[in-house]
Amino acid sequence: MIKAIKFQHGLLSLFALLFLAGCNNDDDSVAVLPPDSEQAAFTYTPDPEKPNTVTFAAYPEVETWYTHWSFGDNTAAEGMDATKTYPLSGEYEVRFKIFTEGGTAESFQTVSIESDLLGPNLIQNGEFEGSDSWTILPISDGVEVAFENGAASWSGGGWGQQGVYQAIEVEANQVYQINMEVTCNGLSDSWFEVYAGKTVPTPGNDYTDGGIRLGLNTWEGCGGEPFEGLFTAYSCSGEDGTFQFTEGGTVYLVIRGGGADYGTNGVTIDNVSVRGL
């Protein structure tokens, strides 16, 4: 009889443990439910005085461990709030994505920018009507730059590199945007980069002052396939084309490219601009 009572007690204890485990599993399953797009919704508000500047805000009702904004022009940000200035008119598909323990969710909205920013272009002869105002920067043999047909073109390879540059005058603490039209015919093991720095370029020396502002890099996933459009839309190396300095004065816009194989006229640029935002 005592053994029977102990056996029944043991069964009751086992059932209790299984019940509690089942409850815990239910709680866990609720906690890891994937979010939906409504939980990743966001709002945006253009600045009434600067309509090219837009403020984005999101309020997910689920706990997130990471968030990501994609502004539709190859630029991005993190956090629940973000502010973006669009220098050019157009339709931009903006995405906000949340990452939770249960999975990810995202939502999209299209932002319309009515006009280009009207800041003056600091670049002289950005249309490449000849080579006036530009200086060739020879770095190493193999890649050549040609000014022809209203554009500047890079070709060659052999792990050489060459650039062009121009001095511009900037104001302290003013944000500037670099952009240009780029035609890429497909590169192999190569790069094409834009810098804005205060160091004077010198022949035979690589230029890296200020870091990469815009860039193509086949190892990072862009420049290997042909494309045509604004550099800001295709850049995958460096920043988003913006820069600023705490002190005003002379800044050198340097555009350089190099690598193993540029093909025939591997990169052509036109309509280079640097405008204040």
Instruction: Please check whether residue 97 is in contact with residue 106, taking contact to mean a CB–CB distance below 8 angstroms.
Output: yes
What's the pLDDT score for residue 11? Answer: 41
Range of the domain at 212: 135-276
Domains: count for the chain: 2
Residue 62 sits in a domain whose CATH number is 2.60.40.10
What's the pLDDT score for residue 115? Answer: 87
Tell whether 196 is covered by a domain.
yes
Tell whether 30 is covered by a domain.
no
What's the pLDDT score for residue 9? Answer: 45
What's the pLDDT score for residue 4? Answer: 43
Tell whether 122 is covered by a domain.
no
Point out the residues of the chain with pLDDT beneath 50: 1-21, 23-29
What's the pLDDT score for residue 31? Answer: 54
Query: Considering the entire predicted model, what is its pTM?
Result: 0.71
Tell whether 129 is covered by a domain.
no
Check whether residue 141 and residue 97 sit in a common domain: no
What's the pLDDT score for residue 236? Answer: 92
Residue type, 158: G
User: Judging by DSSP bridges, how do beta strands 212-217 and 176-184 pair with one another?
Assistant: unpaired
Check whether residue 200 and residue 270 sit in a common domain: yes
Check whether residue 142 and residue 58 sit in a common domain: no
Residue 153 sits in a domain whose CATH number is 2.60.120.200
Check whether residue 155 and residue 272 sit in a common domain: yes
